[in-house]
Structure 1
Amino acid sequence: MCDSPGVITNIPAEQVERHDCPKCQAPAGSPCRTAAGKVASSYHIGRFALVPALKAELTVKTPADRHPGKRWTQGAPAPQAPDVVPGAAIRLGYARTSTAGQELQSQLDALARAHCTRVFSEQVSSRVKERPELSKVLTLAREIKTAAPHQPVILTVLEMKRLARSAAELMTLSSTLQADGIQLELLSGPLQGVYDPHGAGAIVFAVLAVSAEVEREGIREKTMEGLEAAARKGNVGGRPSVMDDDKLAVARARHAKGESVTSIAKGLGVHRATLYRHLAESA
């Protein structure tokens, strides 16, 4: 399925098939395969990203002559391409906000300016243990390193807090990057730059982790101090109650006359559960 040995080709499929696939273990000379044993409709990212001219592509389709969707069979052996020249780093970007309402585009723009090959983004709190897109970017980085151990791979983020909230989480991530030989790049902050998690880089990871946690604790302390100061002045933090004494008095009078809670709540513009709770508390 691949071109003749020694012949340089510009056909994407033939360039890709000069590499083994780190995801499905398809050997050089064969298309990628699915878990069901079929010819995949597209080549796996970790494979085509090894071709310098293709690493910025979002997808590389399997040609029709490879019969995508049909039963996979191994193609004729083909000479493997030499490893990608070290120094041509592959950057994989990751962006995250805690909620869907927070602005994400500025992170995406920064990652684009950093020339990331692929960008993975999600809007999920770092308190949530399962972050699918973070798992995907780490998996892809491992696949590339498995296929080309000497290929530099960099996980790029705008700032450290996009990855985790605690020192323990960040150190766990550091251990993962160390084991897989993946570098970390921070695009902003006092330690902006690219860090190798080995040697001196491991110390930087530890400092970043502790600094991030200290910063969060400082914000929490200031918030609590502000709430306590407001309470001493008679102001209570948080959302104002939708029920006041006047509304409650009206609600009790109407309820005493036999009017339904649903009707009263609708008339006062409050939630039925809220009205039930206040009526019970004032009984």
Structure 2
Amino acid sequence: MHLTPDQAANAVERNDCPKCEAPAGSPCRTRAGKTTAKYHTPRFILVPALREELEVLVPDDRGPGRPWKPGPPVEQTPAAPAAVAIRIGYARCSTAQQELQSQLDALEPLCKLIFSEKISTRVKVRPELEKALRLAYDIKEAAPDQEVILTVHELKRLARNAAELMTLSGQLQSAGVQLELLTGPLTGIHDPNGMGAMFFAVLAAAAQIERNYIREKTLEGQVVAASKGNHGGRPKVIDDDSLLLGLALKDRGVPRPRDREEADHQDRQERRRTSLRRLRVPGARRGRRGRRPGRSARGRSPPAGPRPDNRSRQRHRPGADGTPHPAGSRRHRRPDG
């Protein structure tokens, strides 16, 4: 968390100086009774955001180099009840076959919000971890006095690379966010100072060694399985017998199922178009031989004038013996031959 010179000075002067015993609200002083040009290290490291700084300068309005004068005392506000720390949980496993429930069961009683994902540590960008860190940073920035803790089940849930773990620890420390481990040698809230930093570096290196060992054993197992004919992956869809049968059918000209489906689809489309052409239009009357009225056999229009009566023509048409058919009787069929 970056602080301006005035903000850093105000944060340092909230505490008494352990070295020169300057009271809160006053700058540090020398043995000669003058105001120092920079605050003493034991005093400014009491501010979490300034622990990594090499020096913190005293602002010009405090009069560095001049005779030391006590500043206005810091108003003692009544002690407020201790705020409950906000714990943000994070759970992770590498593959979809692994389960997260054991981590979630350990985090749920402590954390208000838990971010979980199934992703390998080899992936540099882990979305849920980024969300958890961003939320912790935002809370700490909005309320600097609020205690924010990032809780994980074990150290290797964050990363398995020593450099990445050390970088993440430094980012949390500079932002004022604490790290809590539920299992392992560093169980509890991690102390980034003194021996805690050394143990953290050792465990980070051990996590990376464990990851390399798992990878080497996995590759060794794959080589042994490949020497026995098992190359991994899903089983074959087509065996040797099915391949031989397929080649024989291809040589005989037997169409593939896809070709038969396409041919059947074309046949269905052709039958549908044919049936639509043969579909009768409702209300259209046709002649005796299927011709539409108003057209002759050759497609020409009938002559103008009244149409002759077929019944009168049949009445005067002679029969086979020369005698006319009686009126209203049917025409006899012509004998065979």
Taking structure 2 as the reference length, the TM-score comes to 0.47
Where in structure 2 are the equivalents of 1:28-47 lying within 5 Å?
Answer: none
Aligned residue in 1 for 2:48: none
Deviation at 1:258, TM superposition (A): 4.7
Q: Does 1:133 align with 2:128?
A: yes
Distance 1:219-1:98 versus aligned 2 partners, 3 A rule: closer
Where in structure 2 are the equivalents of 1:189-268 lying within 5 Å?
Answer: 189-232=184-227, 234-239=228-233, 240-256=235-251, 257-260=253-256, 262=258
Q: How many residues align?
A: 182
Aligned residue in 2 for 1:280: none
Aligned residue in 2 for 1:109: 105
Q: Does 1:157 align with 2:152?
A: yes
Contact 1:183 1:197 in 2 (8 A): no
Aligned partner of 2:203: which letter? L
For 2:84 and 2:113, locate their aligned partners in 1 and report how far apart those are by CA, in whole Å. 15
Distance 1:84-1:141 versus aligned 2 partners, 3 A rule: farther
For 2:78 and 2:91, locate their aligned partners in 1 and report how far apart those are by CA, in whole Å. 32
Deviations 1:123-161 (A, max 9, x none): 333333332321222122222322343433211111222
Unaligned runs of 5+ in 2: 1-76, 261-337
Aligned residue in 2 for 1:188: 183
For 2:258 and 2:200, locate their aligned partners in 1 and report how far apart those are by CA, in whole Å. 56
Deviation at 1:215, TM superposition (A): 0.6
Aligned partner of 1:133: which letter? E
For 1:84 and 1:258, locate their aligned partners in 2 and report how far apart those are by CA, in whole Å. 88
Q: Does 1:92 align with 2:78?
A: no
Q: 2:119 aligns with which of 103, 124, 127?
A: 124
Aligned partner of 2:247: which letter? R
Deviations 1:67-111 (A, max 9, x none): xxxxxxxxxxxxxx9897668432111112334554222221110
Which structure is richer in relative contact order (CA contacts within 8 A, separation 6 or more)? 1
* Other structure's SS at 2:104 match: helix
Distance 1:134-1:231 versus aligned 2 partners, 3 A rule: closer
* Other structure's SS at 1:142 match: helix
For 1:217 and 1:227, locate their aligned partners in 2 and report how far apart those are by CA, in whole Å. 15
Percent of residue pairs bearing the same amino acid type: 57
For 1:83 and 1:205, locate their aligned partners in 2 and report how far apart those are by CA, in whole Å. 34
Deviation at 1:262, TM superposition (A): 4.9
Q: 2:169 aligns with which of 154, 174, 182?
A: 174
For 1:198 and 1:262, locate their aligned partners in 2 and report how far apart those are by CA, in whole Å. 71
Aligned partner of 1:103: which letter? E
Contact 1:95 1:119 in 2 (8 A): yes
For 1:116 and 1:83, locate their aligned partners in 2 and report how far apart those are by CA, in whole Å. 26
For 2:174 and 2:259, locate their aligned partners in 1 and report how far apart those are by CA, in whole Å. 63
Taking structure 1 as the reference length, the TM-score comes to 0.54
For 2:192 and 2:83, locate their aligned partners in 1 and report how far apart those are by CA, in whole Å. 17
RMSD (Å), alpha carbons = 3.0
Aligned residue in 2 for 1:17: none
Aligned partner of 2:161: which letter? S
Aligned partner of 1:119: which letter? I
* Other structure's SS at 1:156 match: strand
- Tell which structure's C-alpha radius of gyration is larger: 2
Aligned partner of 1:109: which letter? D
Aligned partner of 1:253: which letter? A
For 1:215 and 1:188, locate their aligned partners in 2 and report how far apart those are by CA, in whole Å. 17
Aligned partner of 2:88: which letter? L
Deviation at 1:218, TM superposition (A): 0.8
Deviations 1:262-283 (A, max 9, x none): 579xxxxxxxxxxxxxxxxxxx
For 1:221 and 1:93, locate their aligned partners in 2 and report how far apart those are by CA, in whole Å. 31
For 2:191 and 2:88, locate their aligned partners in 1 and report how far apart those are by CA, in whole Å. 15
